[in-house]
Structure 1
């Protein structure tokens, strides 16, 4: 990368850092909510659409109180909503956070997969092949 590219990257990182410093207090509760496997599973379940508390209770295999507590936490950070009594659904923010996580994961996995494919497609040396086949 040339000097201008490094400067651009450095400026982008500084801007990102400043932005995160400004939003950390608001962002951290959302990350904490998503970071719990039970709450994350609830969010994924809600991708099917609005679901009743009773259905979530059956699917999550949680106790009523535990499920209620998880739903309160997800509601408090506005990842889910309760459009009618006893029914829960993702908010647009909830859908967008899940989409962003999925997209980031897929992009990251694609990078790793491409690196692996590049390594696997390298020609093997004849010495390595002989050792591999025990023909030395």
Structure 2
């Protein structure tokens, strides 16, 4: 194991118990969707309700869960917003995804699966 990986292992082990609740919150599709909606800025409970199509109790439970792990806050009665941590976790996840080999392979596959125009094929084959 390289020194860098060993250092990462030790560091992750030290914070794992703190990370699990955050990862659990981020791993739920409904909660993740709520975080994405909140990227637009503070939202009312009603707007979140209409966006998610959840029952009031279910939405309240999801919001409570996100607040408990400090991903969202309630800046005003009936309104919710991302915390700095919430925004930074979303940024980090997106940045990691964009830099991942998986994302790069998906992009390449998408480009390769596009149909070629007949004009492009003629140019490619020098038949024009």
Q: Shorter-chain TM-score: what band?
A: 0.7 to 0.9
* Alpha-carbon distance, 1:114 to partner: 7.8
Q: Which of 46, 54, 57 matches 2:49? A: 57
Q: Which of 12, 25, 31 matches 1:33? A: 25
Determine which structure has more spread, i.e. the larger CA radius of gyration.
1
Matched, 1:19 2:11: yes
TM-score by length of 1: 0.75
Question: Structure 1: which 4+ aligned runs deviate by more than 3 Å?
Answer: 113-116
Partner of 1:70: 62
Gaps of 5+ in 1: 1-8, 121-136
Q: Which of 77, 81, 84 matches 2:73? A: 81
- Residue aligned with 2:2, SS: helix
Q: How many residue pairs get matched?
A: 109
* Alpha-carbon distance, 1:115 to partner: 7.0
Gaps of 5+ in 2: 113-128
Residues of 2 paired with 1:56 and 1:114: CA distance? 32
